[in-house]
Structure 1
Amino acid sequence: MNGEYLAQRLTRPNGPYASLTVVDSTESTNVDLDRMRPPDRTVLIARQQTAGEGRRSRSWTSPPGGLYVSIHYVPGVPPYRLPWLTLLAGVALVNVSLSVGVAAVLKWPNDLLLGPGRRKGAGVLATTSGNGVVLGIGLNVQPVRAEVAPGGLEPTSLAEEGAAELDLTELAARLLLELDRWEAPWRAADGDPFASGLHEEYRRHCVTLGQEVRVELTESSFEGTARYLETDGTLVVRDSQGNDRSVPAGDVVHLRTSTQGEMRRP
């Protein structure tokens, strides 16, 4: 990966980011940026991570050949709208995948599903850091080794799904520009996902909406139909008793396609 090229192309005054650094290896780009407390829109990319972490404290193996990037944001939006950063990351990942010829959709909140088999191609994790947020993304580019733990979903990669572009430098540039394409108007709209167009773009790619799902919480689970997203990105699921239940966090398992599910809030 050509870090000098990326920095010249994507950092000020030529691009939207404050700084961009590429390292050979680190335990976790998210942890590194959290410790640094750097300026808004600081980017750290690693060629390999040795102790990455996914949602619900799952480990995320990050061998060479993938794209592992974290960005420190201080967007200045209301705190209840910050969860949209992770959904925004999912939108960016879908559009990058589509740009290289790979079919891609999202499973709420931000699981990137690639190819006809809809296997998992990326991990996203956001952590608060002072007055900002560190957004971490791990995208599988080269074939995933058999020993890589899937974390609940079968893994795949851009290479395995026949991507037309596998150069890490080019993919990093596409991802960072796609993130800015959605983060900038979202920030300018004070984090409003409707005014910025982010809600509609996310809804367009999310296959969870309208599905029969099982929601697995920390100590319980329930089944129902995924109906719509609240303004803070919370998923609303109508359970078997006809009650709408808000799901701010938890694992969602697709059970079968619903023909009666509602795609947007009535």
Structure 2
Amino acid sequence: MSLREKLLARLLAAADFVSGAELSGALGVSRCAVWKHIEALRDEGYEIAGSPRRGYRLLKVPDALYPPLFSPLVRGKFGRPYHFYPVVSSTNDVAKELARQGAPEGALVVAEEQTGGRGRLGRAWHSPPGGLWFSLVLRPPVSPAATQSLPVLLSLAVTDGVAAFPLPSVEVKWPNDIVYQGKKVGGILVELGAEAEAVHFVVAGIGLNVNITSFPAPLEKTATSLQKIAGEALSRPQLLSAILAAAERYYSCWCREGFAPFREDYERRLCLLGREVEICCGGSVARGTVAGVDAEGRLVLVSPDGTKRRFVGGEVTFKQKPRQTLRPDEDKAEA
């Protein structure tokens, strides 16, 4: 924990003013250094009252994900230990390195901003301040093949977390997207450290457009944010806490029973259900109507001749417009 984080933790724990002398002694720095860090916290959006005789008192905190603000909200194993970075290239890359070094299951990497965020198929992922960009280290006792349903499972946790707030329901778009009225709100990228028959670790990266009010021109028609949907900003620490609690609950059952117990619940949230789509997979294109998913999280497609096919992955586009949405070619953008 940095000196500034220690100072913030002291202010958060105090019910009243804390003198500069007390903070100086507790942190082992000069009172001038304390004042400089107080000013830096004010610049970051913390409202801190100051009195020459009484010291400092924290009045209001910004929508921030610093450890002293978020760690008290962690309810279980997911989120411990907590690694926060103002800026990283990719939280998945940081989490994979931590996993290789032996990070325990539940370790969490969170960044305020990603400069090299990515989605499926290596697409760039727009990751400015105001979103939730995080990666979770998992060590499931399953085969590598079984992890194919993990992005599908985790999308349920994300929608559960969003449902904890008073805003319209979001939907899932197989295999790894979170959408609202056809526009992308978030996505999930799962990467493995595995051998042919053994999973050493899984890193589950989740990106969610939360308090973002504008997007680059190429994404304006294909992406939206929870703030735009709700009409007001959401608490990112509270949302992250809710997602992690749901993810831990789902994951625990999934490790024992697989995806089958969640199939019907997933289908209720699936925006593709009953829609005519095209799936591009391995260079070939399949067309048909989405009948749902199977017990392993594979998409079930009914072709025009009635044949059923199952897909582990692929790029899905609508042949007909989804409700209130975009052109079919627009549905491929990552945000």
TM bucket (normalised to shorter chain) is: 0.7 to 0.9
Return the match for 2:83 from 15, 21, 32. Answer: 21
Between stretches 65-74 and 128-137, larger displacement belongs to 128-137
Q: Which amino acid aligns with 1:86?
A: P
Superposed, 1:207-246 pairs within 5 Å as 207-246=271-310
Distance 1:25 1:149 in 2: 23
Matched residue, 2:173: 107
Normalization by structure 1: what TM-score? Answer: 0.85
For the Cα contact (< 8 Å) 1:2–1:169, is it kept in 2? no
Question: Which blocks of at least 5 consecutive residues in structure 1 are unaligned?
Answer: 259-266
Matched residue, 1:138: 207
CA 1:205–1:163 in 2, change beyond 3 Å: closer, same or farther?
farther
Normalization by structure 2: what TM-score? Answer: 0.69
For the Cα contact (< 8 Å) 2:215–2:223, is it kept in 1? no
- Measured after TM superposition, the shift of residue 157 of structure 1 is 0.2
For the Cα contact (< 8 Å) 2:161–2:240, is it kept in 1? no
Return the match for 2:94 from 21, 32, 45. Answer: 32
Distance 1:91 1:120 in 2: 15
Q: Which amino acid aligns with 2:265?
A: E
- Measured after TM superposition, the shift of residue 150 of structure 1 is 3.7
CA 1:174–1:149 in 2, change beyond 3 Å: closer, same or farther?
farther
Distance 1:137 1:45 in 2: 10
For the Cα contact (< 8 Å) 1:193–1:199, is it kept in 2? yes
- Measured after TM superposition, the shift of residue 138 of structure 1 is 0.5
RMSD over aligned Cα atoms:
2.2
For the Cα contact (< 8 Å) 1:47–1:67, is it kept in 2? yes
- Measured after TM superposition, the shift of residue 15 of structure 1 is 2.0
For the Cα contact (< 8 Å) 1:61–1:149, is it kept in 2? no
Q: Which amino acid aligns with 1:244?
A: K
- Measured after TM superposition, the shift of residue 70 of structure 1 is 0.4
CA 1:73–1:149 in 2, change beyond 3 Å: closer, same or farther?
farther
- Measured after TM superposition, the shift of residue 148 of structure 1 is 6.4
Once the two structures are superposed, what CA deviation does each residue of 1:29-63 show, in whole Å capped at 9, x if it has no partner?
A: 10111112222111111111110110011111100
Once the two structures are superposed, what CA deviation does each residue of 1:56-82 show, in whole Å capped at 9, x if it has no partner?
A: 111111000100110010011233221
Matched residue, 2:66: 2
Distance 1:257 1:68 in 2: 30
Larger Rg: 1 or 2?
2
For the Cα contact (< 8 Å) 1:9–1:15, is it kept in 2? no
Distance 1:62 1:148 in 2: 15
For the Cα contact (< 8 Å) 1:90–1:110, is it kept in 2? yes
Matched residue, 2:48: none
> Larger % of helix: which?
2
Report percent identity of matched pairs.
Answer: 27
1:25 partner SS: strand
Q: Which amino acid aligns with 1:24?
A: P
Distance 1:24 1:249 in 2: 33
- Measured after TM superposition, the shift of residue 187 of structure 1 is 1.8
Distance 2:104 2:176 in 1: 25
Distance 1:20 1:145 in 2: 29
1:185 aligns with 2:250: no
> Larger % of strand: which?
1
Return the match for 2:236 from 140, 163, 168. Answer: 168
- Measured after TM superposition, the shift of residue 181 of structure 1 is 2.1
Q: Which amino acid aligns with 1:237?
A: L
2:222 partner SS: coil
